[in-house]
Structure 1
Amino acid sequence: MNPSTFVRFDPEPVYRQRGWLIGEGRCGGKAKGLAFALSSLEGSALGEQIRLPDFTYVLTTEVFGDFLVSSGLEDLYDEEDWESVRPRIDGAPLSPALREDLERILEEAGDVPLAIRSSSLLEDSLSLSFAGKYETCFSPNTGSREERLASLERCVKTVWASLFNPSARAYRAKHGREDRKESMAVLVQQVVGRPREGYYYPELAGALFSRVFRRPTPRVRKEDGVMRLCFGLGTRTVDRGNARVFYLTNPALRPEGNRPSQIAESSQVDFDYIDQTYGAFLTGSLSHLFLPFILRNHRNAGAFIEHYGDEALHSTLADPGIPTRPLFTFPGLPQRSRHLFDLSSRLMAHLETTMGTPVDLEFTYETEGEEFHLVQMRPLASFEEMARVRIPDLPEERVLLRGDRMVSNGRMEGLSHLVYVDPEAYVNRWDPVGAAQAVGEFNRRLRGTPYVLVGPGRWGSRNPALGVPVQYAQICHCGCLAELSLPQYGFTPELSYGTHFFLDMDNDGILYLPVFAGQPRNAFRDDWFETTPCETGSHPAVRLYRGTFDIFLDGESETGVVAAR
């Protein structure tokens, strides 16, 4: 593949000729990807089937730079106190000219909610994604003219401020990028969706990846492509919540397993929407209260929803005669919406060919009318998987962890430190933020020294009941990350390729091992963690072990181990 066409591509004319360019600066990476997609689809056979948002305005880096200079905020590049950044930006007024530009955007938008997205100089490049490091903000675009303008201003400032957040700074530092070489453009788009009884959202939203760099099984080829899908706004496809994963050449394959209990455990229950009556971004739960609403408004809901009860999954049309709970399992989607899967495969092939590099994109889809909207597109950061790693014969007492899912080839030997979050202490001494901070303190101490990081559930989850809610800056120096499934505490890893979390690991070359304690071919030596001397962190659940640790991950046999010498 040769990405030279994309590298040389100039996005500014695409936005300028449509009247969407505000300022004379640069558009940034996210704007470049979307403009390239628009240009490559024009005149192609796919161009008639793929829609883009009706408008995408770009506030260029010049607008951001002028704001910093006129407000005396250039020193924010050197400000280490993140808590002081946002108040200073919020307190600085926008120029009258920029306010007029924002009013013009509101005039075109009408009553449609708005998505305000980052588009920095460094993000979405061939080498670095910055996935999830900068903010996306939703404006409901309701109320009076003044209220709508104030909401849009707040969102623009939120995106600008995110340039200086700790995770973005840590990511730049780890990859050798200077803070002052970075700048921020902002995209203002319509939120693609439909109003339904005062709630605004797309029926389906997802992310597509033309390559599968972390495969759940060797039966999946790297070039097969993968889709991560949710009901409602697409926030749940990129965060570490539950969403459905489809491998495009084998949509029936479930990385979480095929047992009803496994499917139920990993299925989406909550969905996000914009309440246009109250002007708020809200989360709804697929309880029996919301179920009638969804059945009224979605003719194909039977392809999305099943009921789980008594260790079985039941159709929405059936009456199992037992207590059940509804879940978004998407059981019939590949059959009922073959168009979505065929179009996704063709689109991935087209963009990868024209761009000269693997790609990932975000989209929305309405099953009624088969409407596919592409809302973002970027180069896909690659993960350089090693040749097959053969696991040496190890005495069983040396093996601390063993897992058999989502194993990619990898090997690290002679690591001198292991950081561990004890599940019982994490639950019983409940202070998730404090636990995350304690992990971050050890992470800073170990800068330049790759270490093993082990903890319950999903690292980086926004829901602390699912795992430790760490930010990138708090774990960025680890070399291998292990997640423990411990049903007695409610912790389960989510094999969530395609989230921002996994894209970070791909960029940083971090090895990953999920461990399902108590299941065949899995092992968790909790006795070793309880009896081996360690240093306790600022939270009692967080411990630092010193020793010599080896990691062997064999993707062919789907086996990974972490061992102590």
Structure 2
Amino acid sequence: MNYGDFYRSFDPVPFYEERGWLIGDGRIGGKSKGLSFAHHILEKNGLLEDVHLPKYSFVITTSVFDEFMEYNNLWERLMNLRAHSDAPELYKICAAAHLPPSLDEPLEKILDLIEDPISVRSSSTLEDDVNLSFAGKYATRFSSNAGTRGERRAELESAIKTVYASTYNPAAREYKRKHGIQWGGERMAVLIQPIEGRRYGNMFYPELAGAAFSKVFRRPSPRIRKEDGVVRICFGLGTRTVDRAYARTFYLTNPNLRPEGTKPHEIVTHSQEHYDYVDTEHRKFTSQHIAVTIKDILKKHKMAPTYLQWFDDNAFHWIHTDPSNMNVPRPVFTFSELPGRCPKLFTRLKKLLSLFEKELQLPVDMEFAYEVSDDRFTLVQLRPLSVYDDKGRVEIPDTPREKTILRGDRMVANGRLEGVRHIVFVDPEIYGKQADFADVARAVGEINDRLDGERYILVGPGRWGSSNPLLGVPVRYNELSNSGCLVELGIPQKGMAPELSYGTHFFLDLDGDNILYLPVFDGEKNNIYNREWFESHPWQTISHPAVRHYEGCFDVLLDGDSETGIVIDKTPEGK
């Protein structure tokens, strides 16, 4: 049997049919298949008491998507949008459309059975494929499931239509174009589940949530075993584990290892301080800073010292310490005690990752929720993990300082990109001076479109694709899709740092598209950000002064064994 054939041949439909969760007679899509497969493996291995699954998982199959498109005469309208990345118009069209009458009774049944807030997830026929994951390309929406029956129904319908609209959003369309997938051939199924978590007044969230991966393709240290896996964990809803936001990364070879460093100021720079939840009073998904609700958190979560600490005067303190004696106390999610106080969580993760990879015959990633107080582990998603192609050892040559544009020494995976003709650079000195973050991202996208067919080097401060523009340029996938190497500059004085952890949707895209990645920390030993080079060489600007376009001849060489990555100017003198 070939690589991944068992998963391809697995029939996921009976799991949903037997429980009355199947809506329509079409296909169920990738996320739905992964959950069905997970149940099959857990049941076969007697693990359903130790690992929970969502109480309900309704699947609206692709036949209903076809009904929706035909019922509202949307096929032709979408074809007219095909040449444009007009996402607002796309979502506006779908929001004004009506769901087909065949959904009336099933949606009422869902509202009868599910009392908690609801997650409405994409489950397209292309999503979570063995070779292409489409991770993060389609929508997931949270419904508060609060208010009157009519309000609950309207909110659920709106979430479904948003997922339908995301089938053709710009990021998904560009991903399909880049990978040679024909326009219009996709169908969308929808997975509807209660959100895993508990109510705390008008707030609903799981205590912890995470995303785990059975392979580590980008390691911060050779001490980390690729086969041991990695997990990202956050407090609250799991959105922060897959987005480019702050979450704690645990490498299962050694969960106490911190890729960001062990000094208090290094830890706090990369620690979660905001968390996400569903506000059932105002009926919306929202975020909060831990400092605002710290007293409630300590009252409601007896295991809070496992993951919370005070930071003050460049030192950490026990979270139940009286902060009145501190200078500027700052509560942060460090998760320092989690490995020691919750060893069963990490043992379970290693066991499940190994088991699922063995049974699926592919590396896997999974998402879960975890209640620390009673060790309740709920698996909410399982899918194949796109495999990174390691190119083997790369020799780093001795290079004069004036020819070394960039150099880094962390999160380096083997790879090379030679003879590159373009560097696109976002100037850290200009970015963030005004609140025009989206304009910077769109300007990068303009150059990305212009360089279609080229593999260019993209350099900028902080985290590319961050959901928080203060952490990095908020580009979308379709605005950097043609790049061949992403460089993230750590600029300490601006509070901007690269993401030194594998596991976000962003890194899955890099792996699937074979895009190299290099973090560079300005001012740190063995790192070079050659500001003089960027100032002394000619550049072009497009539509924003922060975005520069350089032309020449450049090499990117990354050696994972020595943890060294370098960008070299190979342009002949006089050109």
TM-score by length of 2: 0.96
How many Å apart are 1:322 and its aligned residue? 2.1
Do the aligned residues in 1 keep the contact of 2:463 with 2:499 (CA within 8 Å)?
yes
Do the aligned residues in 2 keep the contact of 1:439 with 1:474 (CA within 8 Å)?
yes
Counterpart CA distance in 2 for 1:187 and 1:280 is 19
CA RMSD of aligned residues (A): 1.1
How many Å apart are 1:455 and its aligned residue? 0.3
3-state SS in 1 of match to 2:142: strand
Q: Which amino acid aligns with 2:32?
A: A
Question: What's the counterpart of residue 327 of structure 1?
Answer: 332
Among candidates 460, 463, 470, match of residue 465 of structure 2: 460
Do the aligned residues in 2 keep the contact of 1:46 with 1:347 (CA within 8 Å)?
no
Q: Are 2:369 and 1:369 aligned?
A: no
How many Å apart are 1:99 and its aligned residue? 2.0
Question: What's the counterpart of residue 36 of structure 2?
Answer: 35
Question: What's the counterpart of residue 55 of structure 2?
Answer: 54
Q: Which amino acid aligns with 2:130?
A: L
Q: Which amino acid aligns with 1:529?
A: F
Could you tell me which runs of 5 or more consecutive residues in structure 1 were left unpaired when the two chains were aligned: none
Among candidates 299, 302, 315, match of residue 296 of structure 1: 299
Counterpart CA distance in 2 for 1:189 and 1:52 is 10
Counterpart CA distance in 2 for 1:462 and 1:447 is 25
Among candidates 204, 210, 216, match of residue 206 of structure 1: 210
Counterpart CA distance in 1 for 2:435 and 2:121 is 34
Counterpart CA distance in 2 for 1:327 and 1:427 is 25
Q: Are 2:349 and 1:349 aligned?
A: no
Q: Which amino acid aligns with 2:471?
A: L
Q: Are 2:68 and 1:63 aligned?
A: no
Name the CA shift for 1:415/1:21 in 2 (closer, same or farther; >3 Å): same
Do the aligned residues in 2 keep the contact of 1:37 with 1:377 (CA within 8 Å)?
yes
How many Å apart are 1:78 and its aligned residue? 4.5
Question: What's the counterpart of residue 313 of structure 2?
Answer: 310
Question: What's the counterpart of residue 275 of structure 1?
Answer: 279
3-state SS in 2 of match to 1:117: strand
3-state SS in 2 of match to 1:186: strand
Q: Are 2:198 and 1:194 aligned?
A: yes
Q: Alignment identity in percent?
A: 52
3-state SS in 2 of match to 1:65: helix
3-state SS in 2 of match to 1:200: strand
How many Å apart are 1:319 and its aligned residue? 4.4
3-state SS in 2 of match to 1:452: strand
Question: What's the counterpart of residue 243 of structure 2?
Answer: 239
Counterpart CA distance in 2 for 1:504 and 1:241 is 16
Q: Are 2:493 and 1:488 aligned?
A: yes
Q: Which amino acid aligns with 1:246?
A: F
How many Å apart are 1:496 and its aligned residue? 3.0
How many Å apart are 1:61 and its aligned residue? 0.6
Among candidates 138, 149, 152, match of residue 153 of structure 2: 149
Question: What's the counterpart of residue 386 of structure 1?
Answer: 391
Q: Which runs of 4+ in 1 moved over 4 A?
A: none
Counterpart CA distance in 2 for 1:314 and 1:494 is 25
Which region of structure 1 is more displaced relative to structure 2, 295-304 or 277-286? 277-286
Q: Which amino acid aligns with 1:295?
A: L
Question: What's the counterpart of residue 8 of structure 2?
Answer: 7
Counterpart CA distance in 1 for 2:394 and 2:101 is 61
3-state SS in 2 of match to 1:426: coil
How many Å apart are 1:16 and its aligned residue? 1.0
Name the CA shift for 1:349/1:332 in 2 (closer, same or farther; >3 Å): same
Counterpart CA distance in 2 for 1:441 and 1:564 is 24
Question: What's the counterpart of residue 257 of structure 2?
Answer: 253
How many Å apart are 1:406 and its aligned residue? 0.5
3-state SS in 1 of match to 2:55: coil
Among candidates 464, 468, 475, match of residue 480 of structure 2: 475
Question: What's the counterpart of residue 177 of structure 1?
Answer: 181
3-state SS in 2 of match to 1:348: helix
Among candidates 406, 409, 412, match of residue 414 of structure 2: 409
3-state SS in 2 of match to 1:282: strand
How many Å apart are 1:40 and its aligned residue? 1.2
Among candidates 124, 127, 130, match of residue 126 of structure 1: 130
Question: What's the counterpart of residue 515 of structure 1?
Answer: 520
How many Å apart are 1:198 and its aligned residue? 2.6
Counterpart CA distance in 2 for 1:269 and 1:496 is 17
Q: Which amino acid aligns with 1:119?
A: S
Question: What's the counterpart of residue 538 of structure 1?
Answer: 543
Q: Which amino acid aligns with 1:67?
A: F
How many Å apart are 1:91 and its aligned residue? 1.6
* CA displacement, residues 461-505 of structure 1 (integer Å, 9 cap, x when unaligned): 111111110000000000000000112222111213100100100
Counterpart CA distance in 2 for 1:309 and 1:559 is 34
Counterpart CA distance in 2 for 1:77 and 1:56 is 32
3-state SS in 1 of match to 2:486: strand
Counterpart CA distance in 1 for 2:448 and 2:37 is 38
Q: Which amino acid aligns with 1:352?
A: E
Counterpart CA distance in 1 for 2:259 and 2:183 is 39
Counterpart CA distance in 2 for 1:487 and 1:350 is 41
How many Å apart are 1:77 and its aligned residue? 4.1
Q: Are 2:65 and 1:87 aligned?
A: no
Do the aligned residues in 2 keep the contact of 1:141 with 1:148 (CA within 8 Å)?
yes
Which region of structure 1 is more displaced relative to structure 2, 193-202 or 39-48? 39-48
Counterpart CA distance in 2 for 1:64 and 1:9 is 23
Could you tell me which runs of 5 or more consecutive residues in structure 2 were left unpaired when the two chains were aligned: 571-575
Q: Are 2:75 and 1:74 aligned?
A: yes
Counterpart CA distance in 1 for 2:264 and 2:350 is 28
How many Å apart are 1:349 and its aligned residue? 1.1
Counterpart CA distance in 1 for 2:253 and 2:487 is 28
Counterpart CA distance in 1 for 2:433 and 2:232 is 34
